[in-house]
Amino acid sequence: MSSPAFLSEPRVSVVGSFAELIATPFSDGVNALCWPRTLVGDFAEVVARLGLGQGITTLDAGMLRALPLSAAGKAAVEAMLADHHLLTEQGLEPVLNGINGYVQPEETGPVRTDVCSFHVDSATAEVDTWLCTYHGASSEGLPNEQAIRRVDVPGTRALLLKVYGGADDEGFHEWMNDHYYDLHYAPLPDAKPYSFGIGCLWRVATLHDGCPVPPCIHRAPDPVRGQQRLLLIS
């Protein structure tokens, strides 16, 4: 089996434990930390028993433990709940989601702004994004050097200015920020996105004042027919 592509990414650093994942600072351009794991359990059985409706379903311990599961299915549930507990103990607010497609906005304007578009997360305080895909198509990362902000593409910026109806000034920049347009990125022609993998727990840098590295560009997978997901996010 080939090694995961992220192992060779200079902006990704691999750690060997949850304690190391928490304690390792972002530095020297590294904006994504990964704890690779092979989790025990039948996560496909959990998805099958959930019978997910369209969109995103928030999962809790009561719902998951009430499912009629085999021993392997129960092991998968406990693995997810163990991660949820680890993050909660750190003062975070993790959420377990069952995802059966994403409801796309009817009107996105000149720039796509849904979670399936490459984007960075932003915050008003020092905080990171945590992610783990347990089943289904995995989240993806994109090296910063292989991307351009969509608002910096001349044609797209011209369309945005037309919608805005004003000059390319501070007001325009604030308007783009208010609509999250400036957080989304387009891959460059030779870009090579990398998969976050299954079972790996990630901590990625967000855009906030004082962040020592560029924020991590990532996305949810574009909807894949028939691939329902189990995801932890905080």
Considering the chain, what is the average pLDDT of its residues? Answer: 92
Task: Give the tens place of pLDDT for each residue, 138-189.
Answer: 999 999 999 999 999 999 999 999 999 999 999 999 999 999 999 999 999 9
Each residue's pLDDT tens digit, 178-217? 999 999 999 999 999 999 999 999 999 999 998 999 999 9
Does the pLDDT of residue 24 top 60, yes or no?
A: yes
Q: What is the CA radius of gyration of the chain?
A: 19
- Domain assignment present for 212: yes
CA distance 56 to 96: 10
d(CA 203, CA 34) in angstroms, rounded, equals: 7
Number of domains, the chain: 1
Residues sharing a CB contact under 8 Å with residue 190, sequence separation 6 or more, in sequence order: 146
Whether the CB-CB separation of 219 and 147 falls below 8 Å is answered with no
pTM above 0.75, yes or no: yes
105 has pLDDT over 70? no
State both tokens at 68: 């009629």
Residue 187: beta bridge partners?
A: 147
pLDDT confidence tier of residue 126, bands split at 50, 70 and 90 = confident
Per-residue confidence (pLDDT) for residue 8, from 0 to 100: 78
Residue 55 lies in a domain: yes
Say if 22 falls within a structural domain: yes
- Predicted confidence (pLDDT) at residue 1 exceeds the cutoff of 50: no
Q: Is residue 175 part of a domain?
A: no
The percent of residues in the chain predicted with pLDDT above 70, rounded, is 94
Say whether pLDDT at 223 is over 80: no
pLDDT per residue as tens digits for the range 43-68:
999 999 999 988 899 999 999 999 99
Q: What is the pLDDT of residue 225?
A: 58
Domain holding 76, by residue range, is 5-144+194-233
